[in-house]
A and B are shown apart, each in its own frame.
Chain A
């Protein structure tokens, strides 16, 4: 099953390496990882999508992540109410005849064209993975030349979660 796990981590050299190394060592199957700064300087947020066989595996994954000194907080948000988005860029073949047809497909997806050339279009779409998959399915008959996905980034809805700003900021150099 697919699980979405978020982690707040110290933004220090090698942290991503530590975490992906842990996934490799413990044989967890990673579908995607996204990393970027959080609202607190020096603290990054990671979102992992992992495939696991059972609940024990995900429990073990979270426990192992928690053991990392630079990991501040880990949360399996799969069964919570969350917002999740990924960004996809699709370069699709398009000529004068098919261009408007493609535009018609893009509209309901709230996707936009960000580059046009004689033979192709570059389409940008954000959303949950299912929506992205659906658009890719619809565009593939036209011929997809290139495709780049960011992987999922996510957090929980509302403010029930303790914000990372509550975690004391940590630096070595005073």
Chain B
């Protein structure tokens, strides 16, 4: 199968073929190894060609599963995730994933079927205005109106999705176009005058960053996922180490800088560490590398880095100055910028006093929780996962309490091990994303940390684990509630738990067994440790339903409207 693919790749293909063949051939030219999708009427011509194309296709059980899996694949492999969905309901089922990928800058190629050109606009069966629906949630989108456009559009789509700030690109293909014939020629050069991302940063601006470091007494780096997208984690480490700069990560940046590094302050923001948030609050220089100053990071903007000169390195110029006034803008790829920063020699500043202050905070206010009562604490569960996987697993999560505890207590030392729904905060993301992550790295241990709420949104994908015998380990942090909603209701809505508790649940172990997946149900630390060890030793998929303390809260916390220095719960 692979030999055939390689052979065809080497010869430049230039011949008359139909739209469906063009699509498959374009995917080959782009070295696509994996497609996630779900067939339907409008994509039948494409699926017919896929049948004997030799390409690997993963049939998820819902289109949302396809696109989240593709996101997980993209996040871990760095390659674009490819999704095929049919027209109408197939296409609308991927809307959440598209938005998620857009918010977290993940490269996706999403192919949707469309009703035949002749009936577009007539409210035909399974017709939806997919272009109209998806325009605000894609980096770019195409509807093929002439089959001869298809190869060029595919080439552009891959280019746009994977360069500059990555993002999802959608190609809507009417059914008749898939059957129409035209010349396939993939050798034409791209002509995108309206799309010229600035990759190489301006040296003068970089010089200003170094000058600012020279003048600073209390500098701090805030590093986001832009570092990971640019593959600049090694350069980041060199930069921080040579300049002796403390560093805080955003949620999505975790893993780019080693958690056990002495310069690491932890995650910043709403549930960040005291040291990270106070460092930003007191800093006189804030160097943002590839983060977009999300409101979960900044808290109340009035109190965000009030004394700092702000330098912002970002490949997307629209992010610079969007939320936080910036004195030193640097447009460019994070890796390129860091390389220049690392080449340029300058006297390393003496930040001894600053580091002492930061280390004081780190020692006095570490992340901590009380191990009281009989119930297993969710933080402990994450620590157990960390111990049993040696901190080397790929961890995927949804949004909410389990996500924050995983971010706080699963200390990542290497990049591209952390797959989470950051910007959109999507429940149901973590489990299908774990499938994509596992397919991207079959040899790695992949743990999907989910909540009992989020898991029930996409658990139909257990069927994919069963079918492919993928060794994903699903760990349900089961607190019988929508934990973060419950926490907010407790803190801000006078403990009126409106519809946030889920007292009646399926037997998750039996559910796993229904899919021929091994399951464990645990309550204590010892049971959980044992189950985790057994599950990790088990070569196939596994599910552990862990009952944890229901009323535990994520701390420390910055309440909405507060500055990030106004944290509560810094001591357990």
Residues of chain A touching chain B, judged by Cβ–Cβ distance below 8 Å, are: 9-10, 13-14, 17-18, 21-22, 25, 56, 59-60, 63-64, 66-72, 167-168, 170, 172-174
Contact = CB atoms under 8 A, between A and B. Distances in A.
B140 interface: yes
A173 B191 CA distance: 12
Contacts of A14: 131-132, 135, 143
Interface stretch (B259-267, B317-325, B501-509, B559-567): B317-325
Name the prevailing secondary structure of the A interface residues. mixed
B191 A69 contact: no
Given A14-B135, A170-B193, A173-B148, 12 more contacts: A10-B194, A14-B143, A25-B136, A59-B321, A66-B318, A68-B194, A69-B139, A69-B140, A69-B160, A69-B195, A72-B193, A170-B192
A13 to B, nearest CB: 7
A21 B135 CA distance: 8
Nearest to A71: B194
Contacts of A13: 143, 145
A151 to B, nearest CB: 22
B135 A172 contact: no
A59 B325 CA distance: 12
Interface residues of B, number: 26
A22 B325 CA distance: 22
B149 A173 contact: yes
A170 B316 contact: no
A172 B140 contact: no
Interface in B124-140: 131-132, 135-136, 139-140
B146 interface: yes
B134 to A, nearest CB: 10
13 contacts: A13-B143, A17-B132, A21-B135, A56-B325, A60-B318, A63-B317, A66-B317, A68-B194, A69-B160, A69-B192, A69-B195, A72-B193, A173-B148
A63 B316 CA distance: 9
B191 A168 contact: yes
Contacts of A174: 188
Given A25-B136, A173-B149, A56 B321 contact: yes
B212 to A, nearest CB: 21
B33 to A, nearest CB: 26
Contacts of B321: 56, 59-60
Contacts of B140: 69
B152 A172 contact: yes
Contacts of B459: none
Contacts of B143: 13-14
Interface in B141-163: 143, 145-146, 148-149, 152-153, 160
Nearest to B316: A67
Contact of A167 (B152, B193, B195, B322): B193
B135 A17 contact: yes
A13 B325 CA distance: 36
Contacts of A63: 317-318
Contacts of B195: 69
A22 B136 contact: yes
Contacts of B136: 21-22, 25
A63 B139 CA distance: 14
Nearest to A74: B194
Contacts of A59: 321
B194 A70 contact: yes
A89 to B, nearest CB: 31
Given A14-B135, A173-B148, A69 B194 contact: yes
Nearest to A59: B321
Contacts of B135: 14, 17-18, 21
In the A-B complex, the 4 residue pairs with the closest CB atoms: A63-B318, A172-B149, A69-B140, A72-B194
A170 B352 CA distance: 57
Nearest to B197: A67
Interface string B146-190: 101100110000001000000000000000000000000000100
A21 B317 CA distance: 20
B193 to A, nearest CB: 5
Contact of A168 (B131, B146, B193, B322): B193
A64 B318 contact: yes
User: Which of A21, A60, A172 has most B Cβ within 10 Å?
Assistant: A172
A14 B136 CA distance: 12
A44 B193 CA distance: 14
A25 B103 CA distance: 14
B322 A60 contact: yes
Contacts of A9: 194
A67 B167 CA distance: 12
A13 B317 CA distance: 26
